[in-house]
Amino acid sequence: EVSPQENYFSREMLDRLSGKRTDKTWLESKHSDPDTVYLMFSKLNPMVSMPQEDDGGETKLCRFRYEAVKDLLQKPATVLIFLGVEKRKNPSSSSDAVQEPPAWFAIGSDEDAVELLKRCREKNFCFPKSPHRDLLKLNEEEAGVVAQARSVLSWHSRYSFCPTCGSSTSLEEAGYKRSCLNSECRSLQGVHNTCYPRVDPVVIMLVIHPDGNQCLLGRKKMFPAGMFSCLAGFVEPGESLEEAVRREVEEESGVKVGPVNYVSCQPWPMPSSLMMGCLAVAMSTDISVDESEIEEARWFPRQQVIDSMFKGSHPTFSVPPRQTIAHQLIRHWIGINSNL
Amino acid sequence: EVSPQENYFSREMLDRLSGKRTDKTWLESKHSDPDTVYLMFSKLNPMVSMPQEDDGGETKLCRFRYEAVKDLLQKPATVLIFLGVEKRKNPSSSSDAVQEPPAWFAIGSDEDAVELLKRCREKNFCFPKSPHRDLLKLNEEEAGVVAQARSVLSWHSRYSFCPTCGSSTSLEEAGYKRSCLNSECRSLQGVHNTCYPRVDPVVIMLVIHPDGNQCLLGRKKMFPAGMFSCLAGFVEPGESLEEAVRREVEEESGVKVGPVNYVSCQPWPMPSSLMMGCLAVAMSTDISVDESEIEEARWFPRQQVIDSMFKGSHPTFSVPPRQTIAHQLIRHWIGINSNL
Ligand SMILES: Nc1ncnc2c1ncn2[C@@H]1O[C@H](COP(=O)(O)O)[C@@H](O)[C@H]1O
Ligand SMILES: Nc1ncnc2c1ncn2[C@@H]1O[C@H](COP(=O)(O)O)[C@@H](O)[C@H]1O
Ligand SMILES: [Mg+2]
Ligand SMILES: [Mg+2]
Ligand SMILES: [Mg+2]
Ligand SMILES: [Mg+2]
Ligand SMILES: [Mg+2]
Ligand SMILES: [Mg+2]
Ligand SMILES: [Zn+2]
Ligand SMILES: [Zn+2]
Confidence check: pLDDT of B340 > 50: no
ipTM field: 0.96
Q: Which amino acid is at B20?
A: K
Q: Is the CB of B201 under 6 A from ligand 2?
A: no
For ligand 2, pick from B231, B234, B289 the residue to mutate: most ligand atoms within 8 Å of CB.
Answer: B234
Rounded to the nearest angstrom, the distance between the alpha carbon of A83 and the centre of ligand 2 is 17
Q: Would you say residue B329 has pLDDT above 60?
A: yes
Of the candidates A160, A196, A243, the beta carbon closest to that of B10 is on A243
Which residues, at least 6 apart from A208, have a Cβ–Cβ distance to it below 8 Å?
A214, A215, A216, A279, A280, A281, A282, A333, A340
pLDDT number for residue A4: 61
Q: Which atom of ligand 1 is nearest to the CA of A202?
A: 17
Please list every residue in chain A whose beta carbon sits closer than 8 Å to the beta carbon of residue B262. Answer: 262
Q: Is the pLDDT of residue B313 over 80?
A: no
Residue A173 with chain B: CB contacts under 8 Å: none
pLDDT over 80 (residue B231): yes
Q: Which residue of B has its CA nearest to A197?
A: B237
DSSP state for residue A175 in the 8-state scheme: G
| Digitized pLDDT (tens) for each residue of chain A, 340 residues in all | 345 668 999 999 999 999 999 999 999 999 999 999 999 999 999 999 987 766 667 899 999 999 999 999 999 999 999 999 999 877 665 555 568 899 999 999 999 999 999 888 777 899 999 999 999 999 999 999 999 999 999 999 999 999 999 999 999 999 999 999 999 999 999 999 999 999 999 999 999 999 999 999 999 999 999 999 999 999 999 999 999 999 999 999 999 999 999 999 999 999 999 999 999 999 999 999 999 999 999 999 999 999 999 877 778 899 999 999 999 999 999 988 654 4
How high does pLDDT run on average in chain B? 93
Do the chains contact at B238 and A9, CB–CB below 8 Å? yes
Residue B137 has pLDDT above 60, yes or no: yes
Q: How far is the CA of B43 from the centre of ligand 9 (A)?
A: 18
Give the Cα separation of A239 and A222 in Å (integer): 28
A278 Cβ neighbours under 8 A, 6+ residues apart: A203, A204, A205, A206, A241, A242, A245, A260, A261, A262, A263, A329
Q: Are strands A79-86 and A103-109 parallel, antiparallel or unpaired?
A: antiparallel
Is the shortest distance between the CB of A191 and ligand 2 below 6 Å?
yes
How far off is chain A from B155, nearest CA to CA, in Å? 9
Q: Which of B18, B197, B237 sits opposite A197 (nearest CB)?
A: B237
| Among B166, B192, B262, beta carbon nearest to A262 | B262
- Asked if residue B191 has its Cβ within 6 Å of ligand 1, the reply is yes
Residues A151, B194: C-beta atoms closer than 8 Å: no
Tell whether ligand 2 has an atom less than 6 A from the beta carbon of residue A19: no
Q: Is residue B182 pLDDT above 90, yes or no? A: yes
CB nearest B166 (choices: A155, A167, A265): A167
**Cα(A252) to centroid(ligand 4), Å:** 6
Mean pLDDT of B184-195: 98
Of all residues in chain B, the one with the smallest CA distance to A153 is B237
Contacting residues of A for B265, CB less than 8 Å apart? 240-242
Instruction: Give the residue-averaged pLDDT of B32-54.
Output: 92
Classify A218 as helix, strand or coil: strand
Out of A151, A200, A234, mutate this one to test ligand 1's pocket (max ligand atoms within 8 Å of CB): namely A234
* Contacting residues of A for B152, CB less than 8 Å apart: 237-238
Cβ <8 Å between B269 and A237: yes
Per-residue model confidence as pLDDT tens digits over A44-90? 999 999 877 666 678 999 999 999 999 999 999 999 999 999 998 77
Cα B174 from chain centroid (whole Å) = 20
Q: What is the pLDDT of residue B338?
A: 55
pLDDT of residue A340: 44
Q: Do B265 and A272 touch (CB under 8 A)?
A: no
Closest by Cβ to A198, choosing from B176, B198, B269: B198
Q: Mind listing the pLDDT tens digit for each residue in B258-300?
A: 999 999 999 999 999 999 999 999 999 999 999 999 999 999 9
Asked if B166 lies within 8 A of A161 by C-beta distance, the reply is yes
Q: Could you tell me what percent of chain B has a pLDDT over 70?
A: 93
Question: Which residues of chain A neighbour B222 with C-beta distances below 8 Å?
Answer: none
Nearest CA in chain B to A20: B251
Say how many C-beta atoms besides its own lie within 10 A of residue A56's C-beta.
7
Q: How far is B78 from chain A (nearest CA, A)?
A: 17
CA distance A56 to A40: 24
DSSP A31-80: HT-TT-EEEEEETTEE-EEPPPTT-----EE-EE-HHHHHHHHHSTT-EE
pLDDT of residue A93: 59
The amino acid present at B289, given as its one-letter code, is: V
Taking CB atoms and an 8 Å limit, are B161 and A164 in contact across chains? yes
Say which DSSP state A265 is in.
E
